[in-house]
Amino acid sequence: MLGSYKEVMWPRLVANKILRKSVGSNNFVADFPPDADELLLEAPGLVDEQPSFDSKSIFVNQHKTTNLNYKVHVSTWNVGGIVPEDGFDMEDLLETHKTPCDIYVLGFQEVVPLRASNVLGSDNNKVSAKWNSLIRETLNKSVATSDDRNKGINGVSQDFKCIISKQMVGILITVWVRGDLRPYIRDPSVSCVGCGVMGCLGNKGSVSVRFRLHETSFCFVCNHLASGGRDRDGRQRNSDVIEILSRSTFPRGTYLEDLPKKILDHDRVIFLGDLNYRISLPEEKTRLLVERKEWKTLLENDQLSMEIMNGQIFRGWQEGNVTFAPTYKYIPNSDLYYGCIAYKKDEKKRAPAWCDRIIWYGNGLKQHEYTRGEVKISDHRPVKAIFTTEVKVLRYSNKIRDLFFSERFEDRIDGYDQIDSKDYSWIST
């Protein structure tokens, strides 16, 4: 009887999972609400907001822009279903002992074991909450406690805030910014694409997050692509990438803010995760070259490097120089690659590979570091990158300032309170 009950329930579980993925993908966790009006009330000093009663024609060619540079830390790690213990040291991943970055983006894969109950059941948000708690503690313990040093622009705390955190089965991406950047973050959104069982359940796939910092849009895509070292597995990974780029969509926004809808429409795009691309060499030769640290020869046969060079699936994408050892597959809690000791009969062989990668698309990003971490609890090593990104900041011209203080302006805000000029002292010349 129990067997027949499971047979009846299986299609229902699958249908419910698909429905949740399709209608609930834009729900995410954050330290503050994404509603722009609420943020305006909290931070009236914004220079990149247009009044809500504005029409497009009034502001055409009436503003100036300037560029600011921000540092972005990006990391990816397949944690192999391991739940971190209390007090787990995140320093290897975040490197807060170095000059702090302005934005931290962390992508994880297999934050829960990829068994049927996790794939078909509800996402275990306790796990993502645990990771976020550790991240918050690590980032903010590095922030000075002195009132003078702990305040940014206009006295706003520089404690790091989570602007987006989203989990889909085992994939988790979480984005953190300095507290004084919080008022300049707009339009956070997520898009989930499942590429696993039946092509939709999310044991493999992507979670993409997007937001706007000042006038520049960002999109970070955390992926877990198809595994395996056979030729057909490589083709499946390419198919996963095509699916992710085509199916990931974001809200357009209002008529005043025509926001990017697709991943590649954004100004800054970074693709990270366990991409699972392998080295197209016999296992014995791969192991020998790894032992000799002949990275150049290995990378010439690395599937992702070849795909980027061929420019078909990854046309326009870039990757920094890979100067570190392959990140997969290790015996957990050791420095030994899987297969360096005697196999058990039921174990599959896994040649070392650079499965864990960070690549980017387009201009406006400059990579300064591309390294791997050495935390050993998983069969993967984490990968980290530091970028400088150029961000466009909008500053209104004198013509708009003049409009604000004119009779015509006061006519337009009929029903609003009288505007005191000091409320608009933030408008730049």
- Omega before 329 within 30 of 0, i.e. cis: yes
Comparing 402 with 269, which gets the higher pLDDT?
Answer: 269
Q: Rounded to whole angstroms, what are the CA distances from 54 to 64, 245, 409, 410?
A: 17, 34, 10, 12
Output 50 or 124, whichever has higher pLDDT.
124
For residues 408 and 420, the answer to whether their CB atoms sit within 8 Å is no
| pTM confidence score | 0.80
* pLDDT tens-digit series, residues 264-317: 999 999 999 999 999 999 999 999 999 999 999 999 999 999 999 999 899 999
Distance CA 387, CA 392 (A): 16
Token digits of residue 39: 């943020």
148 plus 271 within the same structural domain: yes
Is 2 contained in some domain? no
Q: Where are the alpha helices (DSSP H) in 311-420?
A: 398-404, 407-412
**Do 334 and 429 lie in a common domain?**
no
pLDDT-derived band at 64 (thresholds 50, 70, 90) equals confident
- pLDDT(40) > 90: no
Query: Are 278 and 195 within one domain?
Result: yes
Please check whether residue 286 lies inside any domain of the structure.
Answer: yes
What's the total number of domains in the chain? 2
310 plus 337 within the same structural domain: yes
CA distances from 395 to 18, 255, 402, 405 (A): 44, 20, 14, 17
Tokens of 81: 């279903």
Tens of pLDDT along 191-246?
Answer: 999 996 655 555 799 999 999 999 999 999 999 999 999 999 999 999 999 999 99
CA distance linking residue 29 with residue 149, whole number of Å: 28
Q: pLDDT value at position 6?
A: 43
Q: Is the pLDDT of residue 162 over 50?
A: yes
Q: For position 284, what pLDDT does the model report? A: 95
Q: Which of 328, 333, 386, 365 is nearest to 77 (CA)?
A: 328
Is 18 a member of any domain? Answer: no
Is there a single domain that holds both residue 184 and residue 144?
yes
Rounded to the nearest integer, the mean pLDDT of the chain is: 80
Contact, 111 vs 127, CB < 8 A? yes
Name 209's bridge partners: 190, 220
pLDDT band at 54 (very low <50, low <70, confident <90, very high): very low
Same domain, yes or no: 354 and 427:
no
Provide mean pLDDT across the span 94-118. 87
370 and 407: one domain? no
Domain ranges, residue 416: 396-429
